[in-house]
Structure 1
Amino acid sequence: MNDASPSSEVTRGLREVEGFLYWQTEEKEARREAASFCDGLPWLDGAERLAVEQRYFSMRMDLAETTARHIAQRHMEIRADFDRAAQELRRRVAYGLTSMIVALFLMSISLLLV
């Protein structure tokens, strides 16, 4: 039996589609940049141009992959920092509320004793 909720499955599916579309766009842009770069090198013959375009494309895609990995890593670091800060805030709020409740309880007892 699948433990994933339909909502999480939909979210995962949407992320996969988003990732696919992102990489399709990256590839299209890398090919456009490679062609534009080679347009500035008119002395290249057909085979040379093809080799330069392919090399440019490969380097550009490697850069995009490295950048995406760095962004994902930084996202995880920021998320962990946020989770730690949120946990600390919850702890402080719980301590503060507990202190207030104890103080109010003690005040009410002292008022009853007077």
Structure 2
Amino acid sequence: MDASDEAARGLTDIEGFLYWEAHRRTAHCRAAEFAARVAGLSETQRAEIEWWYVEEQICMCRKMTQHITDHITAVEKHHAKRYAQLRRGAYGAATLITAVMFGLCIAVLVGTAG
């Protein structure tokens, strides 16, 4: 792996970390806003609600990300398979056309020589 690949990988990792941190902070703010509106909660109860909500949001986000990853992987496999089929068909057609052209050239040469 050269330096540019390593740098690209590092940037991707940083981007992923910043995405998750932003999501976690947003979830925490939303949970805090929700808990603040519920009357009669102790600080411990508010903290538990906030913690539970943030953990639930992170879990759901991971599940969604995994689902998207699985879907993209399946689509990539499908397209790779389809591309291989098209490539084999193109190679077969090119081979057939080459053989026909070669046969025609031989026929023309034999016809003009005789």
TM-score (norm 2): 0.84
| One of 14, 22, 26 as aligned partner of 2:23 | 26
Which has the larger displacement, 76-85 or 55-64?
Answer: 76-85
The answer to whether structure 1 residue 95 and structure 2 residue 92 are counterparts is yes
Q: What is the alpha-carbon distance in structure 1 between the residues aligned to residue 36 and residue 78 of structure 2? A: 46
Q: Who is 1:14 aligned against?
A: 11
| One of 36, 61, 64 as aligned partner of 2:61 | 64
The DSSP-based 3-state class of the residue aligned with 1:74 is: helix
Identity of aligned residues (%): 25
Shift of 1:57: 0.9
Q: What is the alpha-carbon distance in structure 1 between the residues aligned to residue 20 and residue 104 of structure 2? A: 64
| One of 47, 52, 61 as aligned partner of 2:49 | 52
The answer to whether structure 1 residue 76 and structure 2 residue 73 are counterparts is yes
Shift of 1:14: 2.2
| Runs of 4+ with >6 A deviation | none
Q: What is the alpha-carbon distance in structure 1 between the residues aligned to residue 3 and residue 85 of structure 2? A: 32
What root-mean-square deviation, in Å, do the aligned CA atoms of Structure 1 and Structure 2 show? 1.7
Q: Who is 1:43 aligned against?
A: 40
Query: How many residues in Structure 1 have an aligned counterpart in Structure 2?
Result: 111
TM-score (norm 1): 0.84
Structure 2: unaligned runs, 5 residues or longer: none
